[in-house]
Amino acid sequence: MRTNVIRVLATAVLMAVLGASAALAATPPPAGDAKPVEKSRKDLTPMPEGWTALRQEEAIKQAHKQYPFVEDVLMEDLPLRQQRLRNMGIGYKDIKQSYILLDSPYVDTYEKQYDPVRFMHSKHAASLDGDCAACHHYRPADPNAPETVSCRSCHQDTRTDANTERIGLKAAYHMQCMNCHEQMKKGPVNCVGCHTKRSVDHKELVRLPENPKPQEVTAECLRCHQEAGDDMLATAHWLWRGPSPYTTEHRKSVMSGKGTTTLNNF
Ligand code: HEC
Ligand code: HEC
Ligand code: HEC
Ligand code: HEC
Ligand code: HEC
């Protein structure tokens, strides 16, 4: 009986924590992706409620900007292009955004299910020693066009018989992002590393009295998430128990852990 109460209490704490980071909750990769979920920094920095990233509005606007299709491109050897960009002094100062949302209308097919891909532009350029040509591989033939043009101005529709010259935007991103991450063994290559699932807005779903008791919160979550609650109670995370090497007087003789009556559930 007592353990049951403790379990309910601990569930409430866990669910409250989950609630606070619901938007960031790690989601399992879609079926077919066998790679294990990588640890990401996101989990360590749950966002306060109502928080939005700096310049989020601006980033959303830019993500949805339509670009005119660039017909002619100047082909240039990558090392040559890198050298030329360096000679021209193109570098970090030309990067206005620290991050870019990649949420182009040219590719969105499941935009209601997944958040836009957040791409840390400055951080990438820094990790790659300012080598802009690593990603900005061609420039438009028009001499007045900026040196580093958005990928979307050249990669738009999927490759068709009529447009065999270059791959579509989704493929261009996936190929460039994932190939490099694979080669450098850095950065995510699994789907959820870049695509976070959009969570349902719980503001309207959850109904609680003012200053609810922890048990009331748990009960309210379980109203819809009974299965998740049951699953949790069967996990090793919940059931673990073991000897207690550091407990004074009872050293090693007492079993501690969540599977016992330990109150310290975190
Ligand atoms: C390194 C980052 C990265 C990884 C890993 C990644 N993607 Fe993407 N994905 C992107 C980017 C960037 C876009 C383009 C987003 C845009 O401009 O709308 C995209 C677009 C998509 C789209 C079309 C856009 C949409 O919202 O419907 C689908 C579908 C998609 N990815 C599926 C996957 C799947 C499945 C995996 C795992 C096999 C995966 N992606 C792994 C970065 C990534
Ligand atoms: C790891 C790949 C990568 C590197 C390295 C990189 N960029 Fe980018 N850059 C991108 C992507 C992806 C975008 C988003 C383009 C889009 O919206 O399709 C972008 C966008 C830009 C834009 C905005 C283009 C526009 O019209 O929206 C500028 C300017 C830019 N980069 C400059 C630079 C400069 C200067 C460097 C080198 C110091 C650099 N970039 C290095 C990938 C990269
Ligand atoms: C000025 C036009 C232009 C811009 C801007 C541009 N590309 Fe490309 N890209 C091309 C052309 C043309 C090809 C096809 C020729 C080729 O395969 O080399 C291509 C090919 C590719 C390929 C396939 C390469 C291969 O090995 O088959 C990838 C991946 C790619 N681009 C990614 C990107 C990304 C990501 C960006 C933005 C950071 C970008 N491109 C910006 C013109 C451009
Ligand atoms: C030329 C190589 C290269 C390309 C291309 C590249 N990345 Fe990365 N990426 C890296 C490296 C290196 C790191 C590790 C950076 C670090 O931890 O300092 C990284 C880390 C990341 C991370 C995790 C760290 C963070 O900044 O949040 C994400 C997410 C990511 N990349 C997304 C993308 C997306 C989306 C694209 C394509 C638009 C892309 N990357 C293209 C090299 C690349
Ligand atoms: C009225 C029903 C309802 C209530 C009450 C409710 N949820 Fe949800 N919750 C949903 C639905 C529907 C989804 C989206 C479907 C899914 O992912 O299973 C969801 C999704 C979630 C997710 C994301 C799961 C994922 O994989 O993306 C988390 C985390 C979550 N709920 C936590 C909570 C917590 C914590 C509480 C209590 C404070 C709670 N929910 C109360 C209906 C509810």
**Per-position b or e across 45-63, b if 16+ CB within 10 A of its CB:** ebeeeeeeeeeeeebeeeb
| pLDDT one-digit tens code per residue, 73-92 | 998 999 999 999 999 999 88
User: Measured from the CB, is residue 192 less than 6 Å from ligand 2?
Assistant: no
Residue matched to tokens 């000679």: 87
Which of the ligands is closest to the CA of residue 119? 4
Please say whether the beta carbons of 236 and 217 come within 8 A: no
User: Measured from the CB, is residue 130 less than 6 Å from ligand 4?
Assistant: no
CA distances from 85 to 51, 135, 152 (A): 37, 13, 20
Which of the ligands is closest to the CA of residue 150? 2
| Cβ neighbours, 10 Å, residue 4 | 8
Ligand 4 center–CA 159 separation, angstroms? 25
User: Measured from the CB, is residue 73 less than 6 Å from ligand 2?
Assistant: no
Confidence of residue 39 (pLDDT cuts 50, 70, 90): low
Ligand 3 center–CA 137 separation, angstroms? 6
Residue nearest to atom 11 of ligand 5 (CA): 200
CA distances from 233 to 4, 11, 196, 236, 240 (A): 11, 9, 26, 8, 11
Q: How high is the pLDDT of residue 96? A: 84
Confidence of residue 233 (pLDDT cuts 50, 70, 90): confident
CA distances from 88 to 35, 91, 96, 265 (A): 42, 9, 17, 58
Integer Cα distance of 36 and 15 in angstroms? 24
Of residues 132 and 262, which shows the higher confidence score?
Answer: 132
User: Measured from the CB, is residue 99 less than 6 Å from ligand 4?
Assistant: no
Q: Which of 18-32, 174-188, 231-245 has the highest mean pLDDT?
A: 174-188
Q: How high is the pLDDT of residue 199? A: 75
Residue 79 corresponds to which amino acid?
A: P
pLDDT beyond 80 at 160: no
Residue matched to tokens 């738009």: 156
Q: How high is the pLDDT of residue 179? A: 96
| Mean pLDDT along residues 259-264 | 64
Residue 237 corresponds to which amino acid?
A: H
Q: How high is the pLDDT of residue 25? A: 40
Q: How high is the pLDDT of residue 239? A: 83
Ligand 3 center–CA 66 separation, angstroms? 18
Q: Give the CB-side neighbour count of residue 226, counting CA atoms within 13 A.
A: 2
pLDDT beyond 60 at 24: no
Q: How high is the pLDDT of residue 256? A: 76
Integer Cα distance of 117 and 188 in angstroms? 12
| pLDDT one-digit tens code per residue, 129-154 | 989 999 999 999 998 988 999 999 99
| Mean pLDDT along residues 198-212 | 84
Mean per-residue pLDDT of the chain? 79
| Mean pLDDT along residues 34-38 | 60
pLDDT beyond 70 at 31: no
Nearest CA among 194, 28, 29, 43 for reference residue 117:
194
Give 107: exposed, middle or buried? Use CB within 10 Å, 0-12, 13-18, 19+: buried
pLDDT beyond 80 at 33: no
pLDDT beyond 80 at 53: no
Long-range contacts, stretch 202-211, CB < 8 angstroms, 24+ apart: 202/19, 202/22, 206/19
Of residues 48 and 248, which shows the higher confidence score?
Answer: 248
